[in-house]
Amino acid sequence: MVTVEKRAFKYRFYPTDAQAAELSRTFGCVRKVYNLALAARTQAWTRQERVNYHQTSAMLTLWKKSEELAYLNEVSSVPLQQALRHLQVAFTNFFTRRAKYPRFKSRKRSRKSAEYTTSAFRFRDGRLTLAKMREPLDIVWSRALPVGVSPSTVTVSQDSAGRWFVSMLCEDSAVQPLPAMDTVVGIDVGLNHLLTLSTGEKITNPRHERRDRTALGKAQRRLAKKARGDGANRVKARRKVAKIHARITDRRRDTLHKLTTRLVRENQTLVIEDLSVRNMVKNPSLARAISDAAWADFRSMLEYKAQWYGREVIAVDRWFPSSNLCSRCGTLRKRMPLHVRTWTCDCGTTHDRDVNAAKNLLAAGLAVTACGAGVRPQRSTPGGQSATKQETHRREP
């Protein structure tokens, strides 16, 4: 049986003044309902009671009937119900220890979005019309939707730069496993080079943030001089900063999408290192460069594209000494400062630090594929004994 993957297609659109006002009201109502439901569930939790989605849905009906919250009836009810479902998912993730406790949505800092299901929009002949609107959205169709497919869910959002986007979730029959291959590759991420492959290829780090650092700093200084509050000048200055950030983010994601698609198409198995990026960005000297490299986004894209196309991604334990280990003879060097980019092993082999690390990651990944566990070379433990056991984690896409 062939399974059809669902895929989101995101487009930019330009709303009319009436549509922008309607969507802004919807965003506000979605945020209000989410916060009310979160407050109700939190208060119930302090009384050692559980409140589920169905109970908050009943609360929503009562809120709409109250005089204070009667304005909730002015927008489509579907995004409000979806907000309650999203809150239920957030609590499920919290109770299964996959996420922190849900937080209240902020008018200024939280993402502005509203989700519509099939009962709240009409899609005909490439024209999308949302509930409570008479005219279809003016969408810029940068790419075509799959032929003969209608979206099952539509999410409208506005970013901090003021741009409007619509994301359509569709079944895409084009997303099918690619023909199997014999090629495997080890991938070492870095800062001097964004990626280094076990084949010896090095991919330059574009450093997107550095290209706009001067303009960004200038815009941020202008913003800092504006009076606090919601004044027009401060809003304009904040929007300028947000536009620069959006330009940096767009270029970065475009680069990562191209790289990950190429790697998945060319290799059957991809071996990466299981880095804790969240802890690494706590280093004040490297935080900006690591954030600009977006290693976490790279891994996320690699994993879901591998799942789409029938490839395998193996994550090697972060404590595996990929840089310190000679990929030829297996000798482990005790120390390897970051400034050392090339080194010579006792066996006489001269290594490029990054290429050597990629080769070692590849070897560890092949060990995982062959026997289900990797092997860490001997190293000294605090008690003076040698430890040979390594725990390598295989991350399913």
Active site residues: 188, 273, 354
> Which of these, 367, 240, 241, 236, lies nearest to 314 by C-alpha position?
367
Q: In sequence order, which ranges of 172-294 are alpha helices (DSSP H)? A: 208-211, 213-225, 232-266, 277-280, 287-293
Count, residues in the chain: 397
Residue 312 burial (CB count, 10 A):
18
H or E segment to which residue 88 belongs: helix 77-95
Q: Cα–Cα distance between 132 and 117 in angstroms, integer?
A: 14
Cβ-Cβ contacts under 8 Å for 24 (sequence gap 6 or more): 112
Residue type present at position 219: A
Eight-state DSSP code of residue 71: G
Helical (H) or strand (E) element with 157 = strand 153-158
CA distance 9 to 145: 7
The tokens describing 366, both together, are 């092949």
The helix, strand and coil proportions of the chain, stated in percent and rounded to the nearest 5, come to 40, 20, 35
DSSP secondary structure letter of residue 382: T
CB-CB contact of 208 with 193 (8 Å): no
